[in-house]
Amino acid sequence: MDLMLYDTFTNSKKKFEPIDPNNVRMYVCGPTVYDYAHVGNARPVIVFDILFRLLKKIYGSGNVTYVRNITDVDDKIIHAANDQNEDIGMLTEKTINYFHDDAKYVGALKPTFEPRATEHIPEMIELIEKLISKEFAYVSDGNVLFSSNKFKEYGKLSGKNLDEMVAGSRVGVESYKKEESDFVLWKPSKENEPSWKSPWGDGRPGWHIECSAMSEKLLGENFDIHGGGQDLIFPHHENEIAQSECANNNKFANYWVHNGFVTVEGNKMSKSDGNFVTVNELKDSFQGEVIRLTMISTHYRQPLNWTKDNLNESKKTLDKWYTFLSNFNGDELKDANNDNEIMETLLDDINTPKAISVLHQKFKDCQSGDKGLVSNFLYSANMLGLLNEKPSEWLSWKKENLNINTAQVELLIAQRNEARSNKNFDDADRIRDELDKMGVILEDQGGETTWKVK
C-alpha cells in the first residue's frame, strides 16, 4: 500500500513519491521562541513526529532527513524581551530549553536538524542578493523587499489573488513599499535590537527569508515535504514559495502538509479570555502520553477542540492499558516487529483516529493473555509513540503526581456516608463528584466504602 498525503497545494490526497527514496526530506516550521509553547504549538510537533516515524518505517531510519527550525530573531521576541526587561539571547535560550522539554514530554523524536535563524544570516543575505540581482527584490530606505507582482504565480498555495490576499491580511502599508503585498526580506535594526552587517546596512532578516535559507542549506532547492499549521499558509508559506522559486528557478517543495487549528473548550485560545493552555502547565496533572493521545484522537487536518474531558478520557484509556501490561514481563513482549493494520491507517493520510480504533480492538483481542497478541498490541501502540513507559513507572507516577490528600479523602467519605445514612442523597452525590474531580474512585460494597486513584 502506498503512502497517501493530503497536499494543500492541489487540495487533494496524493500518492507520496519521494524525489530520492534513499534521501527523503521534510521541513517543518518550528517555534518562535519567546514564551512557553501552548497546546496549539504542540499539535504540529506531534503530527509531524508521527509522519517522521512513518517515513522512517517505510524508507529506513537512515534515509529520512527531518528539519524543524527555530526562529530566534523576530518582532515578538524583541517585544517580549523588552516587556520582561530581559536580554534577548537569555530569553531565547531559556525558551528553547522550555520547548525541548515540552517536545520530549509529548514523546516527540528529535528532528535530524534543528537550525536556528541567527546561525544562518550569511545564507539569508546570499539568497536576498540573488533575488535583487534577478530583479525580484528592491532596496528602499535600508529595507529590502520582495516584489510580489513580479512572481506571476504568487498566491498559488492559498488559491487567492493579490487583491484578495492584501484585503484579508494584516500586510503593512509602509511608505517604502512599491505595492501593499510586497514583503520584507531585510529590515534596518532599531536601537538595542539584534543587528548584523549587510550590503544594505546593519539590520536583521524578515521572517519568511529565514525558512527559505535554512531549508535550502539543509535540504536543497527542491525537497519532498513542507509542513506546518494552517495559519502559516498565508503569508508565511506563500512567501517562502515566492522567494525560493524566484531565486532558484526550481520548484520549492513537492508536498505541502498542514495541520488544523486548536480551540479550547470550543473557543479560540486567548490569554485575555483565560483559556490559554501551555504544555508546561499540564505537566503536574498529566503524563505526556495523555497529551499525545488526546492530540492524535482527532485527524490532523480537522479542527481539534481541546477539553478537560478529552484529557481525562485519554488518561483513563492509558491507565487501563498500562495496568493490563503490568501483568507481563517486558522481556516477554519484544517479538512483534510488524503490524499491517496500523500501517494501513497511517499510510492513509496519517489517519490516527482510525489507528486508535484499531488499537482498542487489539486491546480487546489480547485479553486472553496470548503473549503474541499482547506483543502486537504494544508494538502497534509504539508506532504511534504510545506505551513507551514502564507500566510500574506510569502507575506510580499517577499516584505520586495527583497529590491526593488521604486525610481529606477519608473525611469526605465519612461525610458522604453520613449523608447517605440520613437519606440526603443530593449531598452524597455532590461529595462523590468532588472526589471524582480529585481523581478518586469510590467503591461501595458490603456496606463499606473503599477508594482508589483513577
Confidence (pLDDT) at 113: 98
The CB density around residue 338, as the number of other CB atoms within 10 Å, is: 10
> Residue 133 and residue 179: Cα distance in Å, rounded?
19
**Position 406 pLDDT exceeds 70:** no
Task: Kindly provide the b/e burial profile for residues 398-430, where b requires at least 16 CB atoms within 10 angstroms of the residue's own CB.
Answer: beeeeebeeeebeebbeebbebbeeeeeeebee
Confidence of residue 219 (pLDDT cuts 50, 70, 90): very high
Residue (of 383, 347, 354) closest to 1 by Cα position = 347
Burial of 285 (0-12, 13-18, 19+ CB in 10 A): middle
Q: What pTM, to 2 d.p., does this model score?
A: 0.86
Confidence (pLDDT) at 273: 73
Confidence (pLDDT) at 333: 75
Strand 267-268's sheet: what is its strand order?
267-268, 262-264, 304-306
Question: What is the average per-residue pLDDT within 390-399?
Answer: 82
Each residue's pLDDT tens digit, 11-34: 999 999 999 999 999 999 999 999
Confidence (pLDDT) at 210: 98
- Cβ-based neighbours of 364, under 8 Å, separated by 6 or more: none
Continuous H helices in 204-284: 207-219, 238-248, 279-282
Confidence (pLDDT) at 232: 97
The CB density around residue 316, as the number of other CB atoms within 10 Å, is: 12
> Where along the chain do the CATH 3.40.50.620 domains lie?
4-138+148-161+207-262
Q: What is the CATH topology of the domain spanning 4-138+148-161+207-262?
A: Rossmann fold (3.40.50)
- Cβ-based neighbours of 294, under 8 Å, separated by 6 or more: 306, 310, 311, 314
Q: Mean pLDDT lowest for which of 269-273, 326-330, 397-401?
A: 397-401
**Position 413 pLDDT exceeds 80:** yes
**Coil, strand or helix: which one is 145?**
strand
Q: Mean pLDDT lowest for which of 44-48, 219-223, 226-230, 397-401?
A: 397-401
Residue (of 185, 315, 346, 255) closest to 24 by Cα position = 255
